[in-house]
Amino acid sequence: MGEEPARTAYDAFASIYNEFNHRNDYEMWLGEVLLPELERHGLKRGRALDVGCGTGRAFAPLLRRGWELRGCDLSPAMLERARKEGGDRVQLDVVDMRELPVYGEFELVLSLNDSVNYLLGDDDLRNALAKMGANLADDGLLLFDVNSKGTYDSGAWSGDPLTVEHEGRSWTWHGIGEVEDEPSVYETRIEGDDIEPIVHRERFRSEAEVREAVAAAGLDCLASLGMQEIDEKVVLTAPPDESRDYKVVYIGKPV
């Protein structure tokens, strides 16, 4: 997740990111679904580290539940917007997740919104997960998600264009599909009001590949859960189905 292409994309995306994603309900997704699932795996409330925190849209569900929170992201422009979400309650750092320092011991380390899919190199996922794991307390939990194969093979990554309208502005997400000569790497382009065209590249990683990286990072994979929306509610199911689910959620802990 170096300066190209992820930082370039998100520095450009930052000015419209919240507006483009205005339909996302973080209180429902994180607060009402993911946190209770983590509690079933032994999560204890305390300190949380949000890796790839973006504009800080996951902050509010954690802060209102009494979590002490720190965030980091590769994009300075995204963090500028995150400061408005967390104020002086959330310390923020510009950092590449593959080079994540040890900030301390956290009860929860999370990396959501397919942040790890931007890690394109063969060893990048393992290295990033190892850095996240180094920040976990002995009884802490790691939470992250990846996009499913079905997401990349259809919809906004490979299918019909997706147009988003918000408060008089409009943007279109064009799925370009799998990059020639780069298997499992997919590309999209966002165009519209008040931005130059933005290109995103992500790498699909199968459940077997992710589990291998988790183990190589010195972590135990407690769960892999498919995520879908039914009647505008997020639903988690096991085992995940790469065709049915649009994301796969992973929960890990130190070995």
- What's 231's DSSP letter? T
Average pLDDT value over all residues in the chain? 95
pLDDT, average across residues 95-124: 97
Q: How many CB atoms lie within 10 A of CB 234?
A: 17
The pLDDT value recorded for residue 4 is 66
What type of residue sits at position 94? V
What the chain holds in terms of domains, given with CATH numbers, is 3-151+200-254 (3.40.50.150)
Beta bridge partners of 203: 185
What is the distance between the alpha carbons of residues 51 and 144, in angstroms, rounded to a whole number? 9
What is the distance between the alpha carbons of residues 205 and 191, in angstroms, rounded to a whole number? 27
The pLDDT value recorded for residue 156 is 80
Position 39 pLDDT exceeds 60: yes
Question: Tens of pLDDT along 121-155?
Answer: 999 999 999 999 999 999 999 999 999 999 999 87
What is the distance between the alpha carbons of residues 235 and 201, in angstroms, rounded to a whole number? 27
The pLDDT value recorded for residue 155 is 73
What is the distance between the alpha carbons of residues 119 and 228, in angstroms, rounded to a whole number? 23
pTM equals 0.96
Contact in structure between 20 and 164 (CB atoms under 8 Å): yes
Contact in structure between 181 and 197 (CB atoms under 8 Å): no
Tell me the residue ranges of DSSP E strands in the chain. Answer: 47-51, 68-73, 90-94, 106-111, 136-147, 162-166, 169-178, 185-192, 198-203, 219-230, 233-237, 247-254
Position 224 pLDDT exceeds 90: yes
Question: Tens of pLDDT along 145-202?
Answer: 999 999 999 878 998 899 999 999 999 999 999 999 999 999 999 999 999 999 999 9
Position 19 pLDDT exceeds 70: yes
**DSSP letters along 33-52, please?**
IIHHHHHHTT--SSEEEEET
Position 232 pLDDT exceeds 50: yes
What is the distance between the alpha carbons of residues 223 and 251, in angstroms, rounded to a whole number? 5
Position 1 pLDDT exceeds 70: no
